Every structure is written in C-alpha cells, then in structure tokens.
Structure 1
Amino acid sequence: MRRLTRSRGRVLTAVLVLCAVAAAAAVGIWLQFGERHALDTRYRAGGAAPDRVDIAASVQRVDAAGRELVLRLLVTPRGNLAEAGGVSPAETLTLQTSSSVRGDLTFPAHSRISTVDVPVTLSAGSITDYPFDAYETTLEFGAAVRDDDAVPVRMTLTNNDALFAADVGAAEAGGAAVFEVGLERSTSVLIFAVFMMAAMWALAVAVLIGAWFLVTRRKGLTWPALGWMAATLFALAAFRNTAPGSPPIGSLLDYIAFLWAETVIAFCVVTVVVTGMRAESHPADPPPASP
C-alpha cells in the first residue's frame, strides 16, 4: 500500500513538473510573439499622390549612451519625379529634415539612389535609469525639387532594434511626414534585467546564510566554503557585464542589486576568514575522558 501511495505521489509530482514547464514555455512563446509583432509593425504617414516621394525608414540601432539612434533611409521618387522606376530622381531631390536629424539630404538628378544611414539625436531619459530608461525624438521629413518646390511625402517607419520597443505617433503636416517616437527597453530586456537583480540578491543572501552558519558554529577556516564565496564575488561581476545594452557602472541596476550584493558577499568573506582564524588559533577544549 505504501509503495502504491509513493508511486502515485511520484507520478503526480512528475505531472506537475511537466505542467509547470509547459506553462513556462507557453508564456515564453507568447512574449516572443508579442515582441516579434512589435518589430514587424509599420507606421505610416503621408498621402498617396501619384507624384510623390516614398521613404522607407527603419531604426537600425539605438545608442543610449551616445543618446542617438541610427535611421536607415531608402528614398524612392514616384510618378513624374522618377526615372527608371524610381531608381533615380528626374530632378535634384532634397529631403528636408527636423532638427534632431543631422542635416538635410540631397540626391542629384539622374543618379541612382541608395540606402543611407543618418544619426538622429535622442532627448529625455538617461542610461543611468537602466533598465527603466526611456527616450524620445521627433522625425520630420519633407521633400523639395527645383527651386525648393515642395512635393508630397509618404513615409513608412519600422523598428529593427530588438533591445528597444517603439511607441510611434504618425501624422502629416503640409505634405511632410511627422513621427513622434518614444523608445524604451523591450520586454525581454526588462525581464532579464529584473531576473539579474533578483539573482544577485538571492546569491548574496545565500552567502550570508552560509557565513552565519560557519561563524556561529565556529567551523574554522573551511576552504571549500571560502572558495565558493570568493567565486560568487567575482562571478557576479561577470554576470553583471552580460546585461543587454551594456549599461555603465552607476545605473539603477547597480544601486538596486549589484553593488549591495558585492558588498554583502565581500563582508561575509572577510568575516568568515577573521572568525575562522580565531577559531583555528584557539580551538575549543576537548571534552574530558570518561573514567
């Protein structure tokens, strides 16, 4: 009877473990699908006039430390503005940009247009708020030919940086395409950063419990335990450097978890060594022999 009960308990435990694994995998797939959908989202602004300039823009990389992003542009003239199916403009084409984009872009007439990467300045936010830092910028693109004659623009914007999620507002103003872009850390980065902070505190508490056990029971210099504590001290530094986006020292991640965990572990190592040395120097008196 006892064997049957134990067998049922083991089966139930195995079923619960499999269900927990399946649930975790399902949540992971759901989160990944959401991020993939966000990266595939296209934001559009501008009309569909036959003689216009189409701009396909994509955020290639966000440099939070440098407070800028790299925007890749593919400009395609349409209708009477184009030659060879939009490969080159019939007249010199100028893209007029907002102040956050470094300078206007000019494409000579009858010359092939290729993709171009332009830096865009970010405002607000600070990387020291990692992983909760957020940024914003305004993108405005208008087009002109001849003697600054304005032509309509239709623009599509996408985000290709998996480390950041984009919140975009699109509008049209006087034939120009305008995008209000907000950037914040993606869900995967946020989850991993929170996990890192929780793991750092968990390891620090584990070392603290081990040190308390060694000190209160006067275990002396227990070298395996000291090796584990010292290894944890240096392993946390390497673990911290794996944070996505390479945040600098002094970010919120450090002040919430990393610096405190390192302090606790270092204090535990020193305390165990000092008390262990005293225990080894003054061993407890052996119990008296029985008559």
Structure 2
Amino acid sequence: MTRTRSIAILALVAVAYVAITTLYLLGARDVADEDAPPPPSGGVLVSLDLDGLRGETYSLETRVSIEPDAALLDSTGELTGAVTVEVRPAANTGTATFAQGTRAGSAPVTLYLDGDIRQWPFDRYEAAGLTVVATIDDGTGRTTVPVAVTVTDSMPSWVAGLVDDGTGPVTITAERTTETVAFAVVLCLVLVALPVLTLFVSVATLLGRKQFLPPIVTWFAVMLFAVLPIRNLFPGAPPLGSRVDYVVVLWVVFGLAVSLVLYVTAWWRQGP
C-alpha cells in the first residue's frame, strides 16, 4: 500500500509539472497581438501600449503612440501639424502631443483602474469609460480628427483586451494568464503541505506511535521560517492582507505553530 501511495504521489507531481509547463509554453507562443486596424480617413490610429499594472495603486501604465492617415503627413512622412491626443480619465495629464514636422513617437499616460488586488490570483481589472480625442493644429487653428483605438499588451503574466463598440467610450480589461494562476495555486498547495506534514509527525509522536527525536524540532522551525520566502514568490506580489493571506498563509503559520506545540508536548510526556 505504501508503494502504491508513493507511485500515486509521484504521478500526481508529474502530471502537475507537465500541465503547468504546457500552459506556460502555450502562453509564451501566443504573445503576438492582433493586427492593428488602419487609421481612419483623415484621422489617427491611437495605440495604447500597456507597460505595467499596479493593482495596489489602481493604475495602468501605458504609452500612447499614433499612426496618422496619409492626409496628415507630408511627402517625407512627417506631420503637417501638431497632433494632440487626450485620454480621459487619466491619473496624470492624459495628454500626448506630437510636434509638427516630426515623426510620431510615444508618450506615457497613466490610467485609473477598477479592481481589487485582494482577490489575488483571480483579480481582474478594467479601465472603463475611456474617451480618446485627437486634434491637429496646422497653425491656422485646432481641428478634431477621427480616431480609432487599439491596445498592445506588453505586460508579462497578463491578458489584456479592448472593448470598443465604435459608438462611444472604450474599456480596457486585464486579468492574469492561466499559467500565472496555475503557478500561484501550486505555491499555495506547497504552503498547505507544510503544516499537513508537521501535524502528521507531531500527532503520531504525541500518540506514542513514533519515537521523539530532538532534531525534528529544528525541522519544525525551518518549516515555519520557510513560509515567508514562499509567500514572497507569489506572482504579482499581492500586498499583505490579501485574501490569500487569510485563506492560506495565516492557517499555514497557525498549523505549523500547533505542530510545534504538540511535538514539545510529546517531548514533555516521553521525557524522564
């Protein structure tokens, strides 16, 4: 029976390894963004390149770039007027200006996010109700031009999308990739395994089924101090007080502490 259980455990570990590795490789292969649409006639295609998501500060770091229509460019491919793009609402100015007579570059814009990082690793975010307005100033006055919006996801471990029905404000959504969630779940299972093992040993010793061995006390201490390093490996670094701390980490620490108390009690009972 022991051999059968050992084989089953090894098989379970192998299956988990293959599953997570496969998810990671499939996710790494599927990193290409969809082809961007062409700029509207007489307008600009505004691209929001997502650089970073900070759930603890509810902010989304982006870089705004434009692809102007040929009507806004001269024969050398430079802008015939200064193009200004405004993204609202934004945490900073939300304005990017591309000077006349230059080739369009990019400018940073920070957007507000709605979400809850305490739901890690199943947290989901969105920047809703975004309006993007572009104007061109050729020296005679500022004119509003048509705008199309696209999103480029440059954030590792995240899947981002754009909700745009073409009739009004747009919404950017972001959630963790499947392989990132799987990695987080496995780390939580590793933490849960620690008190399960120590409780098994301490209860067996307390009941007299196993002999008390002083070096095992050190093993309990090592297990206890291993919790924080494993906790710091959580992808996305959820802040202290997240749901995972109350559901997993707190009870892991509690279980390890109880194991140590039970083992010391066994020492007291079995000692001379």
TM-score (norm 2): 0.82
- Match status 1:201 vs 2:188: no
Of 165, 169, 172, the match for 1:181: 172
Alignment of 1:86-235 (within 5 A): 86=77, 88-100=78-90, 102=92, 103-123=94-114, 125-138=115-128, 139-146=130-137, 147-173=141-167, 178-217=169-208, 222-235=213-226
- Match status 1:58 vs 2:52: no
- Match status 1:28 vs 2:18: no
CA distance in 1, matches of 2:218, 2:22: 39
User: Which residue is 2:252 aligned to?
Assistant: 261
- Matched-pair contact (CA < 8 Å) for 1:218–1:279: no
CA distance in 2, matches of 1:224, 1:180: 58
Of 257, 262, 268, the match for 1:271: 262
Partner AA of 1:241 in structure 2: N
CA distance in 2, matches of 1:63, 1:25: 31
- Matched-pair contact (CA < 8 Å) for 1:44–1:156: yes
3-state SS, counterpart of residue 106 of structure 1: strand
CA distance in 2, matches of 1:33, 1:83: 43
- Matched-pair contact (CA < 8 Å) for 1:63–1:69: yes
CA distance in 2, matches of 1:113, 1:167: 24
3-state SS, counterpart of residue 208 of structure 1: helix
User: Which residue is 2:3 aligned to?
Assistant: none
- Matched-pair contact (CA < 8 Å) for 1:100–1:122: no
Q: How many residues align?
A: 258
User: Which residue is 1:8 aligned to?
Assistant: none
CA distance in 2, matches of 1:74, 1:150: 17
Residue 100 of structure 1 deviates from its aligned partner by 3.4
What are the Cα deviations for residues 36-63 of structure 1, in whole angstroms up to 9, with x where unaligned? 42x42337567541x3223332211111
For structure 2, list consecutive stretches of 5 or more residues without a partner in the other structure: 1-6
Partner AA of 2:207 in structure 1: T
After TM superposition, where is structure 1 displaced by more than 3 Å over at least 4 residues in a row?
20-28, 43-48, 83-86, 218-221
CA distance in 1, matches of 2:65, 2:134: 13
For structure 1, list consecutive stretches of 5 or more residues without a partner in the other structure: 1-12, 284-291
Name the Cα RMSD after superposition.
2.9
Partner AA of 1:105 in structure 2: A
3-state SS, counterpart of residue 159 of structure 2: strand
TM-score (norm 1): 0.77
